[in-house]
Amino acid sequence: MYTQGLDLVPKGAEAQRPKDAEEVRLEEEFQKKIDAEIRIEPDDWMPEGYRRTLIRQISQHAHSEIVGMLPEGNWVTRAPTLRRKAILLAKIQDEAGHGLYLYSACETLGVSREELIEQLLSGKAKYSSIFNYPTLTWADVGIIGWLVDGAAIMNQVPLQRCSYGPYARAMIRICREESFHQRQGYEIVMAMAQGTPEQRRMVQDALNRWWWPVLMMFGPPDKDSWHTAQSMKWKIKRFTNDELRQRFVDAVVPQAERLGLKIPDPHLKWNPERGHYDFGEVPWDEFWRVVRGDGPCNRQRLEQRRRAWEEGRWVREAALTYAEKRRRRREAARAA
Amino acid sequence: MKGWPLYEVFIRPRNGIAHRHVGSVHAPDPEMALELARDLYCRRGEGASIWVVPASAITASRPEDRDAFFEPLEKEYRHPSHYDIPPDVKNM
């Protein structure tokens, strides 16, 4: 679904070792390639910081896709029609696929799949704060598609031009598939907004609950985002968190108005001078609380992931045993 | 994953086009790698044919040798633009 690029390491925490002349030369050459829009590929020389930043960002992104299946999975058995159920299943399968594309891309940086899974299950790795909120009604499923996936797209479109080749290529695939997610969500919201008064109340309530957490998806404000400048210089990021947040608000407000829904922000107002909507302060205290592990569903999500991993153990073992049996059978046939 | 080596995945979108690298999967054996690659990379009819290759079977050139490896000499005369032919000579 998307990467928040959570910058939890404070400035200066990474010790500065003096660089030798060769390293300085390599770094200059590297930056020249980046400036010339030449993509970096897995075996190319890259600064350690670039590698570490990418591993952190891509793995957080992959984990978000995987954990993102959980709030939606909650509604598979309760989708209102067979069509909606089939769509929801396809969407959840896409999220798993996106996680796997991203794990693949991350492994090209020299980290193993086991390490990545272990980091998620142990709680060491972060994933997008948005998946720590519950999906209370069917309207939430619509709002997730429309707004959560909409915010993800806003973030991911520029990542298709990320300087690291495998990540950019994974993003191209993901963006192509994500558009269906957003449209099916808006369709659900539209159906409810045009439905009975009870349905309209449900969908407005869902919008009220999701609005601020969705704006948090773009990450902390630029003034508190430690790695932004370096990531922009390396062209991992193309726009700052605040720029993307503003674009998203500008895009979504007319979509809400079209359905007669009200964005729950008294400060939201078109500013003709800026050519943008002004909006209120995101509740950042809540954001940091959720990121640090105290959101409404953090513990439940991790617990569910761990259980899925444990309960899937026999499947992984059976697959291995089957592969071994097949290999032996083939050898026997060859010997005969 | 443990005992699940990495396979690189190549897909031919339709006949008439070469297979193209799309990513990788971990799988216990080549047959399961094919099935997993289908589920992962062909959810929307993107494939007419899939190859999976154990990543360990690939021999790759080294990026740091790029210049020496690919451009041992300037050989401009290999390109048609190297030759000056008067414009009134047709079909050349």
Q: What is the pLDDT of residue A228?
A: 82
In this structure, are strands B6-12 and B20-26 parallel, antiparallel, or unpaired?
antiparallel
Q: What is the secondary structure of A226-239 as a DSSP string?
A: TTHHHHHHTTS-SS
The reply to whether the predicted model has a pTM over 0.80 is yes
Identity of the residue numbered A203: V
Q: What is the pLDDT of residue A3?
A: 52
Q: What is the pLDDT of residue A76?
A: 96
Q: What is the pLDDT of residue B1?
A: 72
Q: What is the pLDDT of residue A12?
A: 47
Please report residues of A whose CB lies closer than 8 A to that of B29. Answer: 323, 326-327
- Over residues B11-29, the mean pLDDT reads 96
Q: Which of A97, A105, A320 sits opposite B40 (nearest CB)?
A: A97
Q: Does A322 reach chain B within 8 Å, measured CB to CB?
A: yes
Residue scoring higher pLDDT (B8 or B76): B8
Subunit contact A320:B31, Cβ cutoff 8 A: no
Q: What is the pLDDT of residue B62?
A: 83
| Residue from A143, A4, A153, A136 nearest A64 by CA | A4
**Distance between B80 CA and the closest CA of chain A, angstroms:** 27
The tokens for A171 are 């993003």
Q: What is the pLDDT of residue B70?
A: 81
Subunit contact A326:B29, Cβ cutoff 8 A: yes
Please report residues of A whose CB lies closer than 8 A to that of B23. Answer: 101, 104-105, 169-170
CB contact residues (below 8 A), chain A span 31-70, against chain B:
41, 43-45
Q: Does B43 reach chain A within 8 Å, measured CB to CB?
A: yes
Subunit contact B6:A94, Cβ cutoff 8 A: no
Q: Does B34 reach chain A within 8 Å, measured CB to CB?
A: no
Beta partners for residue A164, in sequence order: A40
Please state, in angstroms and rounded to a whole number, the distance separating the CA atoms of residues B67 and B61: 11
| Residue from B47, B45, B36, B59 nearest B10 by CA | B47
Q: Are A206 and A214 in contact (CB under 8 A)?
A: no
Q: What is the pLDDT of residue A13?
A: 46
Closest alpha carbon within chain B to A167: B23
| Residue from A174, A175, A103, A187 nearest A143 by CA | A187
- Over residues B63-88, the mean pLDDT reads 83
Per-residue HEC secondary structure of B7-49 comes to EEEEEECCCCCCCEEEEEEECCCHHHHHHHHHHHHCCCCCCCE
**Distance between A16 CA and the closest CA of chain B, angstroms:** 26
Please state, in angstroms and rounded to a whole number, the distance separating the CA atoms of residues A136 and A334: 58
Quote ipTM for the complex: 0.86
Please state, in angstroms and rounded to a whole number, the distance separating the CA atoms of residues A130 and A212: 10
Q: Order of strands, edge to edge, in the sheet holding B20-26?
A: B20-26, B6-12, B49-54
Q: What is the pLDDT of residue B3?
A: 83
Task: Give the position of tokens 């909507």.
Answer: A277
Beta partners for residue A40, in sequence order: A164
Beta partners for residue B25, in sequence order: B7
Q: What is the pLDDT of residue A8?
A: 47
DSSP letter (8 states) at residue A38: P
Please state, in angstroms and rounded to a whole number, the distance separating the CA atoms of residues B10 and B19: 6
From the candidates A104, A111, A172, A325, which should be mutated to test the interface with B, based on the most B CB atoms within 10 A?
A: A104
Q: What is the pLDDT of residue A333?
A: 94
Q: What is the pLDDT of residue A1?
A: 43
Q: Which residues of chain A have pLDDT under 50?
A: 1-2, 7-13
- B72 pLDDT band, cuts 50/70/90, is low
Q: Per-residue pLDDT tens for B26-44?
A: 999 999 999 999 999 999 9
**Radius of gyration over alpha carbons of chain A, in Å?**
22
Please state, in angstroms and rounded to a whole number, the distance separating the CA atoms of residues A83 and A95: 19
Tell me: pLDDT of B66 over 80: no
Q: What is the pLDDT of residue A4?
A: 60
List strand residue ranges (DSSP E) for A209-274, in order: 269-271
